[in-house]
């Protein structure tokens, strides 16, 4: 499939999602023009705030390929990824992102991801969600264990 055909599939998935009670977002992961996985936004359907189209599609692609590394694959998504999805895309090592709508288009219909992008630029103490370090020394033990583990699978 061409890039335009793959993007059209992501857009169609976003429309199907709206018709089925989900959010207006769809995504496709492909390798060499072949669809590996596809999905749509199921936040309200599954009562899961992480069930965005991109995250759901990454999960499906990883299961299908039996790997957490999606190098060699590209993602086609109907809208510019939110910060969570962008993070997942980087963690999955996808090679390239294609998107239809941008975050301003999403904000115009009530999906204002820009707020989170702005929060990320702030120091933790300045963010709207309070956070504090608690039991750091105890938590560092797992990091020491990881660092010393010789048979770990790095990612």
* HEC profile of the chain: CCHHHHHHHHHHHHHHHHHCCCCCCEEEEEECCEEEEEEECCHHHHCCCCCCHHHHHHHHHHHHHCCCCCCCCEEEEEECCCHHHHHHHHHCCCCEEEEEECHHHHHHCCCCCHHHHHHHCCCHHHCCCCCCCCCHHHHHHHHHHHHHCCCCCCC
Residue 120 has a CB neighbour count (10 Å cut-off) of: 9
Our answer to whether residue 12 is catalytic in this structure is: no
Burial class (CB in 10 A: 0-12, 13-18, 19+), 100: middle
Which one of 54, 80, 119, 126 is the catalytic residue? 54
Active site residues: 54
């Amino acid at each position: 499939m061409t890039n335009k055909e793959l993007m059209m599939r992501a857009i169609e998935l976003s429309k199907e999602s709206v018709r089925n009670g989900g959010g207006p977002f769809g995504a496709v992961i492909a390798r060499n023009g072949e669809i590996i996985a596809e999905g749509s936004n199921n936040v309200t359907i599954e009562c899961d705030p992480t069930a965005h189209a991109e995250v759901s599609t990454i999960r499906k692609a990883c299961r299908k390929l039996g790997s957490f590394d999606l190098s060699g694959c590209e993602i086609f998504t109907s809208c510019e990824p939110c910060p969570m999805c962008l993070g997942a895309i980087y963690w999955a090592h996808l090679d390239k992102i294609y998107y239809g709508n941008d975050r301003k288009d999403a904000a115009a219909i009530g999906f204002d991801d820009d707020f989170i992008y702005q929060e990320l630029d702030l120091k933790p103490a300045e963010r709207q969600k309070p956070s504090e370090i608690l039991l750091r020394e105890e938590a560092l033990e797992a990091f020491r264990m990881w660092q010393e583990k010789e048979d770990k699978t790095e990612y």
